[in-house]
Structure 1
Amino acid sequence: MIHTDSLWAATSNPLKIRPSLEGEIQTDIVIIGAGFTGLATAYYLRKAGINCVVLEKNVVGWGASGRNAGMVLTGFKNSIQKIEKRWGRETAKIFLDQSSLGIEKVREIVKAEGIECSLSDCGSMKAAFKSSHSEALKREQEFMWEAYKYELQYVDRNQLKKELDSDFYYGGLIDFKSSSFHPLNYAIGLANAVEEKGGEIYEQTEVSSVEENHHGYSVKTEMGVVQSSHIVFATNGYTEKLNKKLTRSIMPMGSYIIATESLGKEITERLIPNNRMISDTKNFLYYFRRTPDERILFGGRVSFNSKEDESLYQSLRENLLEVFPELSDKKIEYKWGGKVAFPMDFFPHVGTIKKTIHYALGYCGHGASTSTLFGEYVAQNIINPNREKSKLEELPLRTIPLHSQKNLLLNLAGNYYSLLDKVK
């Protein structure tokens, strides 16, 4: 059983008690999943005056939306360099702009709805695990400015102490556009905004089947039915058997996080002086940050079968001490895990099946802001199905053949820096 009692759950804003669905109701749009994607979809639909109902198997923000690291980062699993190599500079620029737009959408909603989620424009930093990685980061900084006028700041090992009090790394690359937040509080605030605008959210309401009929769809739960003309799947790593195409197009994987006891501001400010969101350049990377209550949150372990083992958390603690040896006497007060989802091409996907079935999923662990952006795209696809779409939205969602799953796992460990070595 995966731990779901995260630091975020322990420090969240008050949660409403929402009812389970009972009986039969009718709406324009039924949305399955009350994470960032589903809630953002409902938010933008209600702003347009379209009726919608959100069904959640557990409670608002229960899945990855309430259990991630709270890193609102630019970029995708695939680098801009790799995107440019595949599709050219014009398309890569579109992808880069879309990434930044996702962060802006989060900021807009937080400001407009007064959501208290500790949103901070703190920036992020990639830390170089090897000396050669530091050199590659320097080339990346130069490339991004020359090609896109996108400003990054390179930090060599002599300057690194100003950003990170650790001897584990060789340099870093700062992206000032990234942010941080309390992810569960963002989900809670987004859900409250949906309801204030007239949307309905039902919790503890697991969908058992989806049946097509001459009016649209009958979405059945244990104690109720929703009749709707459109259906939205917003379940990402928890997409199961309700839609075979979506289930067969992603590979769920387990991801795990720990958080220390509260260390106090003096210690955390010294360890991460500028409160950056930090990840490193290893194939299976570490990622870590300060939290609003002055802990160190640390993640990086994955399991390909999504099965939790206590040894995963022990390994995470050992990894944490590689970076910050002085924390050896500090307690680990929280540990939790959950599922992320990887499509065949390592890009997030948003789209429509049969004109009335909509989806957004496959964030590859980079969905904190993209999911909000994709929620808006899903809403727009319903409101105006003939609208012009960007290249990011047109990526085909392919089924992952069983014989390709092993290759997919191996590709997750692919060396990103072998590509950067070729960037001049």
Structure 2
Amino acid sequence: MCVMHDDGIVEKRSAKAGECEMAHIDSLWAATANDHRIRPALEGELTTDVAIIGGGYTGLSTAYHLAQKQVGCVVLEQQQAGWGASGRNAGMVLTGYKPSIDSLASKHGKETARELLHISVEGIKLVETIVREHRISCSLENCGNFDAAFKPAHLEALKRNQEFMQTNFGYETYVIDKERMKREEVNSDLYHGGLVDPHSYSFHPLNYALGLADAAEANGAVIYDRTEVTGIAKQGSEFLIRTSSGHVRAQHVVMATNGYTTSLAKSLAKKMVPIGSFIVATERLSREAVERLIPHNRMISDTKNFLYYFRRTPDDRILLGGRVDFNGKEGDALFGQVQQSLIEVFPTLAQTGMDYRWGGLLGFTLDFMPHIGQTEEGIHFALGYCGHGASISTLMGKLLAENVCDPLREKNSLERLPIRTVPFHSQRALLLGVASFYYHFVDKYF
């Protein structure tokens, strides 16, 4: 991987963790990232219209859309643009949300569910538009996704959702049985068939983040890497944002930290639970081997609550994520469990080497839905993607930019969803303990 400093010096660096303090983590995506430059840290003080905290998809998209409106903005990223979940996810650009659309209709009504579905599709279209207009090299492909039924009852639930979507919204998906699944989608005995959604995409997640950062800067946004925000204070009609080496005065603040939200924004930290998710990627396989395992190159996840998600990669590996952790601590034992999950899905890979392993934090809310809005102090935010943020986060950035520029604009159904506070201290510990037990035993075996 080559990185270019702002002084024009190009430095060849390994993407391996620990060899460079500010390098992206030891992921497949970091090892195959496009050449990019290391941006300087903020030093001293500056004044701008909007200060954006967090350099992932949400923050970068907010900056991109604000800059298009000729609104002055800066992005303050503690590590490097794309360093968090935006550069570490599985690269699955999916329609929908963690809850199924028919379950959202039962809870919120059909018209709200219809709009929520439309919003998720709009997010994918926005990603496609940005990639095309700025010629971002990120392997974007309309490959579709496959929901693999872990139990026979799950296949029936997928059929009900498919019928609901087709009948009420004209949204076309289709359900297949186990034998067809093994021939066409997932050559595994673990599942009982599933649902194909041809509308989803795949991409190289870090390269998309890097390209989005470049596009934001090309429009006039300013991005600072290695700039930790240490405090936010409201002073009259403006905010003072203190950093590790300077400060920013801004009329507006956007918090775009999702799973990495800390007590810096206490009211937001209480709205969500950060959960670790971990991934392994095999050594390179033959094209024949990966096509035999996943013939149509879909993005695949199963129907367990704590699911496995897996795919082929552009360089012919199998990537799988499937071990959540409520402490976010990595280690050999944890990644060994992820590898065993991969072997559970594809036993023929038992002797296959693993070239990459990495993890990061996801942001989960109590209703498993993303949320957008403003805190009582007036800080704009979007968070809680629950593992479905690859495209909706880009759309959230566009909505955040619109909220800054037009606070009285009419809000859509997603923006109107109320966000609840997560029980903390002993209640939160109990909540996570129950969830951990559910992951290890109930969800997998019953």
Q: TM-score, normalised by structure 2?
A: 0.90
Counterpart position of 2:36: 15
1:24-423 correspondence runs (5 A)? 24-160=45-181, 161-354=183-376, 356-402=378-424, 404-405=427-428, 406-407=430-431, 410=434
For these two proteins, the number of residue pairs brought into alignment is 415
Unaligned runs of 5+ in 1: 419-424
Query: 2:155 is paired with a residue of what secondary structure?
Result: helix
Q: Structure 1 stretch 375-384 or stretch 3-12: which is displaced more?
A: 3-12
> 2:215 corresponds to which letter in structure 1?
A
Query: 2:51 is paired with a residue of what secondary structure?
Result: strand
Shift of 1:285: 1.1
Shift of 1:215: 4.5
Query: 2:386 is paired with a residue of what secondary structure?
Result: coil
Shift of 1:353: 2.5
Quick one: percent identity of the two aligned structures? 53
Query: 1:158 is paired with a residue of what secondary structure?
Result: helix
Unaligned runs of 5+ in 2: 1-16, 19-23
175 and 237 in structure 1: CA distance in 2 versus 1, 3 angstrom threshold: same
Alpha-carbon distance in structure 2 between the residues aligned to 1:146 and 1:215: 50
Query: 2:81 is paired with a residue of what secondary structure?
Result: coil
Query: 1:8 is paired with a residue of what secondary structure?
Result: helix
Q: Structure 1 stretch 154-163 or stretch 130-139: which is displaced more?
A: 130-139
Alpha-carbon distance in structure 2 between the residues aligned to 1:45 and 1:60: 17
Kindly indicate whether the alpha-carbon contact (under 8 Å) linking 2:234 and 2:377 is maintained by their aligned counterparts in 1.
no
Query: 1:229 is paired with a residue of what secondary structure?
Result: strand
Q: TM-score, normalised by structure 1?
A: 0.94
Alpha-carbon distance in structure 1 between the residues aligned to 2:419 and 2:184: 43
1:375-411 deviation digits (Å, cap 9, x = unpaired):
0010000011100001210122222122553347757
1:322-369 deviation digits (Å, cap 9, x = unpaired):
111111121001000100011122110111224741000011111001
> 1:59 corresponds to which letter in structure 2?
Q
Alpha-carbon distance in structure 1 between the residues aligned to 2:247 and 2:224: 12
Instruction: Give the structure, 1 or 2, with the largest relative contact order (CA under 8 Å, sep 6 or more).
Output: 1
Kindly indicate whether the alpha-carbon contact (under 8 Å) linking 2:138 and 2:205 is maintained by their aligned counterparts in 1.
yes
Aligned CA-pair RMSD:
1.8
Alpha-carbon distance in structure 1 between the residues aligned to 2:159 and 2:106: 19
Alpha-carbon distance in structure 1 between the residues aligned to 2:114 and 2:274: 29
Query: 2:38 is paired with a residue of what secondary structure?
Result: coil
Kindly indicate whether the alpha-carbon contact (under 8 Å) linking 1:209 and 1:220 is maintained by their aligned counterparts in 2.
yes
> 1:376 corresponds to which letter in structure 2?
K
Shift of 1:249: 0.9
Shift of 1:221: 1.0
Alpha-carbon distance in structure 2 between the residues aligned to 1:255 and 1:209: 28
Shift of 1:244: 1.1
267 and 133 in structure 1: CA distance in 2 versus 1, 3 angstrom threshold: same
Query: 2:360 is paired with a residue of what secondary structure?
Result: strand
Kindly indicate whether the alpha-carbon contact (under 8 Å) linking 2:100 and 2:161 is maintained by their aligned counterparts in 1.
no
Alpha-carbon distance in structure 2 between the residues aligned to 1:410 and 1:178: 32
Shift of 1:144: 1.7
1:300-326 deviation digits (Å, cap 9, x = unpaired):
100112222321111111111111111
> 1:359 corresponds to which letter in structure 2?
F
Alpha-carbon distance in structure 2 between the residues aligned to 1:156 and 1:271: 17
